[in-house]
Structure 1
Amino acid sequence: MPSSPARFIFLTAVMLSACQGKSSDAPAAASVPATPSVNYWTLIAPLVAGSYGGQCLRPPDPAPFPGPIVIAAGGKVSAGKLSGDLRSADISLSSAMDNEVPTAAINAGVGEFTLMLADKGAQRGLTAMVANGDQAVACEQATAPAALHGLNVYALIARVIDTPRRPLSCIPTGALKSAEVMFALENGVLSLDAEQFDIGTSRRQSALFTDGLSKLFYSATLADGRLIKMNIDERGQLAGLEGKGRNDQLYACK
């Protein structure tokens, strides 16, 4: 049997060895889950889901093709042998007044697969087209779906981008440093301090959804030439704002 000091050292070594063994077997601390990303498909689906037929063909073949182009509520697109999934695509929406006629367009792409829906007004109908590589299906029909005809992009995404009054850090034209500007967007009216932009009645609007439909870039051009651009991040938060106001006042805010 070891002497007392030697015995103490021996027992201490055994205890340390046991503790180290238990430590290595202990489960690692749970990692903090990443903040879930938003997904804007629920906004887009009611706008695009449906069957698009009418007069169809497979360009460049001029022969009629029975169609239709079908977009399911879950995002799957099918047209003959072509298929794609809009839930993983980058999608852009645009609306404008063309000679006082409201028009709208939707473009989507993922890999080589692309989709286009273009509402050219009540007199000119709607064009729908899908393509993948050198294969395509295009259809012309007399009227656009009610959700797409007369699309107002702001109205579609208002619940996402509307923001109660809050301060932003902005660098106005000619300034050498940032200044606090009070910002709000409610009921289609965007305010930067005393200046107001009625984006709900803009002549041109667009929204671009990227990164798995988790990021949103919105822009609006007013009839008087003033301009607003907004960047919404994957958490659904305002990440940046740019604009051109009266007297060519420029804003760069975050």
Structure 2
Amino acid sequence: MIRRTTLLSTIAFSLLLGACSKHPEAADAGEGKQAQAAADAQVAEAPAAEPAPERKLDYWKALGPLLAGSYNGNCLRMPDGRRMEALVTIGADGKVASGDMQLDFHAAKMAMMMRSRDEKGQYSTVGTLAIDDGKTGMLSLMSSPAGKESTISLSSGDIGLMCSNNSGVGSFNNQALFLTAAKLLNGKKQSIGCLDTKNLLVRRKVDVEVVDGVIRIGDDAFDMKTAVSEGFTLMEGGSSLMLNVVMPQEKTVNVAYDGAGKLVNVQARDKQESTHFCSIEN
């Protein structure tokens, strides 16, 4: 009986081997499923890829030459209200110092510059930078026509200086701001979807570019050299830039870019109504 059982087992094992040799695809399929399962497990265990870092404009390379210098004047020190002579130095690298205040504005969260022209053709310029929410550090400069009533203020927490009659502040009033903004934008032509302001159901692609001080929106051109006021605002450390221009006859133009220099929004209006309304499609 034992010999018979052994013989039957040997025969059954031989038949099983023969079946596998006749159908190798069955064995391969089994191995393939195991390999796929192992690969799936490895993918599941692998950490998710890190998102690409947000691109930001390094705007201090444009602001540095505009603001760098030494500014001294009659100052009011806060919080004690003491009157004193003080010197504020602004480096081309964004580092600002006065007495015991040492601040770095290179990657300030917000930067705003605005230059306006009066009826006599004289300019006034205002600039404000905030490191974060304004509590860590804030810098403000103002230059009135011919350098009169020029002021500078610097603060860090509760400590601050407010200075008037500053020598040197008038120097940053002599340059058109669109020239500064141009250093941050590559000037290439970009297309964006614009609503037809006469028929809001119609949307069409329009070419927009800012070159040589001229904003071109389709067939319309706005020469910033004739602007009544011009300015730009950078937010979130350079992740967005808004160019703002007021032209004669109360025409206004706003052009916005992201931190990679991509056009995201364009708006323009005259005294009566909106003339351009453009934005990227989500």
Normalised-by-shorter TM-score class: 0.7 to 0.9
The CA distance in 2 between the partners of 1:39 and 1:153, in whole Å, is: 16
String of CA shifts for 1:26-48, please: whole Å, max 9, x gaps. Answer: 98797684564332121111112
Give the alignment of 1:1-254 within 5 angstroms.
3=13, 5=16, 16=34, 20=38, 24=42, 33-34=52-53, 36-59=55-78, 61-86=80-105, 87-100=107-120, 101-109=122-130, 110-111=132-133, 112=135, 113-140=137-164, 141-144=166-169, 146=171, 148-161=172-185, 163-165=187-189, 167-176=191-200, 177-245=202-270, 248-254=273-279
String of CA shifts for 1:81-133, please: whole Å, max 9, x gaps. Answer: 33332123311001001343211011011231211011112241521101234
Over 3 Å counting, the alpha-carbon distance change for 1:75 and 1:175 in structure 2 is same
**Quick check: 2:70–2:168 contact (8 Å CA) kept in 1?**
no
**Quick check: 2:57–2:184 contact (8 Å CA) kept in 1?**
no
Over 3 Å counting, the alpha-carbon distance change for 1:178 and 1:133 in structure 2 is same
**Quick check: 1:56–1:137 contact (8 Å CA) kept in 2?**
yes
Over 3 Å counting, the alpha-carbon distance change for 1:33 and 1:62 in structure 2 is closer
Structure with larger Rg:
2
The CA distance in 1 between the partners of 2:55 and 2:273, in whole Å, is: 39
TM-score (norm 2): 0.74
Query: Who is 2:6 aligned against?
Result: none
The CA distance in 1 between the partners of 2:167 and 2:50, in whole Å, is: 55
Over 3 Å counting, the alpha-carbon distance change for 1:234 and 1:167 in structure 2 is closer
TM-fit CA distance, 1:245: 4.3
**What residue ranges of structure 1 are gaps of 5+ in the alignment?**
none
What one-letter code is carried by the residue in structure 1 that aligns with 2:218? D
Aligned length: 252
The CA distance in 2 between the partners of 1:152 and 1:123, in whole Å, is: 16
What one-letter code is carried by the residue in structure 1 that aligns with 2:129? A
What one-letter code is carried by the residue in structure 2 that aligns with 1:139? C
TM-score (norm 1): 0.81
The CA distance in 1 between the partners of 2:101 and 2:152, in whole Å, is: 14
What one-letter code is carried by the residue in structure 1 that aligns with 2:203? S
Over 3 Å counting, the alpha-carbon distance change for 1:62 and 1:165 in structure 2 is closer
What one-letter code is carried by the residue in structure 2 that aligns with 1:42? K
Over 3 Å counting, the alpha-carbon distance change for 1:24 and 1:116 in structure 2 is same
Query: Taking every aligned residue pair, what percent have the same amino acid on both sides?
Result: 20
TM-fit CA distance, 1:180: 3.4
What one-letter code is carried by the residue in structure 2 that aligns with 1:85? D
The CA distance in 1 between the partners of 2:157 and 2:49, in whole Å, is: 45
Higher share of residues assigned helix:
2
Secondary structure at the aligned position of 2:248 is classed as coil
CA RMSD of superposed structures (Å): 3.6
String of CA shifts for 1:202-235, please: whole Å, max 9, x gaps. Answer: 1111110111123211110012111110111111
Over 3 Å counting, the alpha-carbon distance change for 1:162 and 1:74 in structure 2 is closer
**Quick check: 1:124–1:142 contact (8 Å CA) kept in 2?**
no
**Quick check: 1:125–1:142 contact (8 Å CA) kept in 2?**
no
**Quick check: 1:232–1:240 contact (8 Å CA) kept in 2?**
yes
Over 3 Å counting, the alpha-carbon distance change for 1:81 and 1:99 in structure 2 is farther
What one-letter code is carried by the residue in structure 1 that aligns with 2:124? T
String of CA shifts for 1:228-252, please: whole Å, max 9, x gaps. Answer: 1011111111111000148635211
